[in-house]
Amino acid sequence: MEKRVLDRLDEVEAANKKRMVAFGKRVTAVRLDITSTKSQVVAIKTGMTGMRQTTNAISTAVSRGAVAMRDLAAAIELRGAGGGASSNDAIVPVPSNTASFFDTPRVASWTKQMVKDIRAEVTAEFLAGNVWPPASSNREMYARHLHKKFNFPGGMPEARLMLMKEILTPCDPARNHGSTSRKLPVHRVLRRALPRFHRAVLEAATNGFIECTSSMLKIGWKGDKGQKKNVWQMTAAQAKQCLVGMWWITDDVGREALLAALGSALAKIKGLNGVMIEASESRRRYYKVLYSVHVAVAAKVFISLNAMAGYPPFTAKGGNVDEAYRKVWGVCMQLADGNLKKTKMEYKGLELLDGEDTRRADVVGFNEARLRATRAQVMITAVAAGDISTAAAAATRTGTAAAAAAAAAAAVAAADTGDAEAMAADEDATAAAAAAAAAITAGDDLEDEDAEEEDEDAEDDDNEDDW
């Protein structure tokens, strides 16, 4: 009897061991499946990123091809029947020496002053409310300045054609195989005025914003070493605090910091005259600006906060930088509209000259569909971090920011399923539009991120402080 019990126990124990071994094998198989699934997910994400970058590169290439076709058509028109060019329905002669001037790449010292003139015009347009014009308008501006300099017999059509000609421009020998100059199309040299202007405004606005948050909430600090010396900075966590719940535009302290950013940015471009009204016995200091100007500065602050927080950028390799940031501004125009009082009277340090305009948030060329993907990316930053600091909550936090956070979460949830489709549709539409006749007639200056980075090695021939 005892022997049978012991034998039975041995059988049970052996069976249990077999079951444990089998269970262990199944767990190992499940783990391998999970690892394989994770690897596939990573591969799919990498592939999607590559596809998006390739799509952007193709879009830019197609657009540039469209511009080249338009310039070729202009050239045929200029060199057409009778050796003349059409200008205001009249035939004017086109001497060969005008075109031959640009046939051989040569040092063009005249570009230095022209870049300054373009930047002066960009500054004036910014203060007048035309803060982020489309690339086609910028290209027309380059052609207009070039035509003013050389007075082409063929008029503006010939000036647009000459923008594609190459000239020699100074560059850093250390980054160009020892060469002190390199060839660049005229429009690439002239467009330097734009990124330099926008960068100067962005840096000044960011410094003003962080200086204010540091003073009021101890958020941010001023660098004292190396390239960051005298530059106001934030940690990633602090930047996320400013973004959550759209604190930067919904909270009183956030809006006060945006006023400091506005003052700093306008001071940088010497645009405070008649805009900043000093304090009096009965009124605090305030600013009189157009809605688009104030939101443009706020958008630049947001772009800086997004970068400092470590969130994905709004541009991609091969993408159109100007268009991407212009979309961010377009989204900010909509978001700020519900957080700024619709009045032309001074309110909390800000007097919007077009404050009562019901269409003040409209951006030419953008509709809801084109801004959907960018809006979703902006809204994600509002719910991706914890609450604003305890000091800020105790000092000024209101229910507005909390409501904004809830609205942001709802918007992200609603947009989550269609985000990829919206982004794809938006980029497809951009590519199609660029390839269509509209791009040919408009002449978009589709500079991408790669081109802008290449321009960074150019010898600085324009003092950004000389406004």
pLDDT tens, residue by residue, 200-219? 999 999 999 999 999 999 99
- 243 and 294 in a common domain: yes
- 150 and 112 in a common domain: yes
pLDDT higher at 270 or 427: 270
Q: Which residues partner with 85 through β-bridges?
A: 92
Torsion of Cα atoms, 315 then 317 then 321 then 325, to 10°: 0
Two tokens, residue 416: 């989550």
Is 68 contained in some domain? no
Nearest to 293 by CA among 261, 322, 323: 261
Is 462 contained in some domain? no
Residue 59 has a pLDDT of 67
Residue 98 has a pLDDT of 54
- 105 and 28 in a common domain: no
Task: Indicate if the pLDDT at residue 175 is higher than 50.
Answer: yes
pTM score: 0.67
- 348 and 210 in a common domain: yes
Residue 135 has a pLDDT of 86
Residues 264-277 have a mean pLDDT of 95
- Give the pairing type, strands 350-352 and 286-289: parallel
- 238 and 180 in a common domain: no
- 362 and 225 in a common domain: yes
Nearest to 444 by CA among 431, 434, 430, 429: 434
Is 180 contained in some domain? yes
Confidence of residue 396 (pLDDT cuts 50, 70, 90): very low
User: Three-state SS for 289?
Assistant: strand
Q: Please enumerate in sequence order all residues whose Cβ is within 8 A of that of 359, keeping only pairs 6 or more positions apart, or say none.
A: none
* The last residue of a domain, from among 190, 219, 245: 190
- 102 and 39 in a common domain: no
Task: Indicate if the pLDDT at residue 395 is higher than 50.
Answer: no
For residues 455 and 192, the answer to whether their CB atoms sit within 8 Å is yes
Is 228 contained in some domain? yes
Count of domains forming the chain: 3
For residues 67 and 439, the answer to whether their CB atoms sit within 8 Å is yes
Residues 1-19 have a mean pLDDT of 79
- 327 and 357 in a common domain: yes
Lowest mean pLDDT among 182-191, 277-286, 412-421: 412-421
- 186 and 104 in a common domain: yes
Is 357 contained in some domain? yes
* The last residue of a domain, from among 401, 419, 437: 419
pLDDT higher at 54 or 114: 114
Residues 85-91 have a mean pLDDT of 38
Is 66 contained in some domain? no
- 209 and 102 in a common domain: no
Residue 171 has a pLDDT of 84
The per-residue pLDDT for range 51-71, each reduced to its tens digit, is 767 776 676 666 666 666 666
Q: Which residues partner with 415 through β-bridges?
A: none
Is 455 contained in some domain? no
The amino acid occupying position 304 is: S
Residue 306 has a pLDDT of 95
Confidence of residue 366 (pLDDT cuts 50, 70, 90): confident
Residues 314-343 have a mean pLDDT of 85
* The last residue of a domain, from among 124, 156, 190: 190
Task: Indicate if the pLDDT at residue 290 is higher than 70.
Answer: yes
**For the range 211-216, what are the long-range contacts, defined as Cβ-Cβ under 8 Å and sequence gap of 24 or more?**
211/260, 211/264, 212/256, 212/257, 212/259, 212/260, 212/261, 213/242, 213/253, 213/257, 216/253, 216/256, 216/257, 216/395
- 366 and 240 in a common domain: yes
The residue range of the domain holding 52 is: 1-58
Confidence of residue 342 (pLDDT cuts 50, 70, 90): very high
- 286 and 158 in a common domain: no
Is 293 contained in some domain? yes
